[in-house]
Amino acid sequence: MNPISYRGRLAPSPTGYLHVGHARTFWTACERARANGGTMILRIEDLDHSRCRPEFLSAIYEDLAWIGCTWQEGPDCGGPFAPYLQSQRQDFYRAALSRLQASGHVYPCYCSRQDVLRVLGAPHEGDDEPLYPGTCRPDPDGPPRPVPAGRKPHWRFRAPDGRTVSFVDAHLGSQAFVAGCDFGDFVVWRNDDVPSYQLAVVVDDAAMRITEVVRGEDLLVSTARQLLLYEALEGTPPQFYHCPLVRDEAGVRLAKRHAAANLRHLREQGRTPMQIRDGWVDSY
């Protein structure tokens, strides 16, 4: 008998209505948990106060249930690793930040996103986070950087330049990303006192004993960043399964702004969950 039973998670953010791309990922996650006789956890990723809205949160419960997702632990039903709302887990993230600070894996950074883009001239292709040019990275041979008065820093993880981070994805096979090239030093704590997605997701997946993370292919590079965080925090990473993205007619991946592909809209138009599941690739 396998002593470690399968634990998967659904980790939606209430920043918009769920669309067909989310449905595909969440349905796949639930199918994999069911096939493995495992437990599914619902965790709400509501850290970005400026973008989260209560109506999106209630829609998540409704839409997930409508497409046939079920879970055994979550904000609505409790469980041994509560709370399941990230907005209530600040202490866990703060403890992880302190560990990264104490071990020297992170450094304070005073650059805004605009500063970074100005230095780079153009955003980095294929990933959401621009490759950090190293402006605030401490240089052991140089003078200490002046601390701008009255400004709070972000905390940035120092990526080990040139190191290849590899893993075997359960769907896509071998993956490899080079630190300092495919991704750079990344923010783990924002200067408005909010942990970044990268840090929160690692802390929670580890704390909730997740054994497999199922999510969209757009997060492949983030997985490499997160593997470095697991290492720095001395945690055991889960397995990963990255799902293909659902694209619109022009080949652009669906986003929350594609109103026509959102599940509420499709439901109102009379589509059934079965039709949605049978036709992930469709015109929206």
Does 124 bind ligand GLU (CB under 6 A)? Our answer is no
Does 52 bind ligand GLU (CB under 6 A)? Our answer is no
Does 20 bind ligand GLU (CB under 6 A)? Our answer is no
CB of 201 to ligand GLU, least distance (A): 5
Best CA proximity match to 24, nearest among 283, 258, 261, 277: 277
Contact segment (CB under 6 A) with ligand GLU among 5-13, 73-81, 134-142, 238-246 equals: 5-13
Distance of CA 270 to the CA centre of its chain: 32
Euclidean distance between CA atoms 202 and 227, whole angstroms: 9
Which listed residue (7, 8, 12, 262) binds ligand GLU by CB under 6 A? 12
Euclidean distance between CA atoms 145 and 138, whole angstroms: 7
Does 11 bind ligand GLU (CB under 6 A)? Our answer is yes
Based on CB atoms, which residue is closest to ligand GLU, 220 or 276? 220
Based on CB atoms, which residue is closest to ligand GLU, 111 or 219? 219
Based on CB atoms, which residue is closest to ligand GLU, 89 or 215? 215
Site string for ligand GLU, 193-212 (x = CB under 6 A): --------x-----------
Buried b / exposed e across 241-271, counting CB within 10 Å, b at 16+? bbbbbbbbeeeeebebebeebbbeebbeeee
Taking the CA atoms of 255, 257, 261 and 265 in sequence, report the sign of the dihedral they define: positive
> What DSSP state is assigned to residue 213?
E
Q: Are 188 and 199 in contact (CB under 8 A)?
A: yes
Site residues, ligand GLU (CB under 6 A)? 11-13, 45, 201, 215, 219
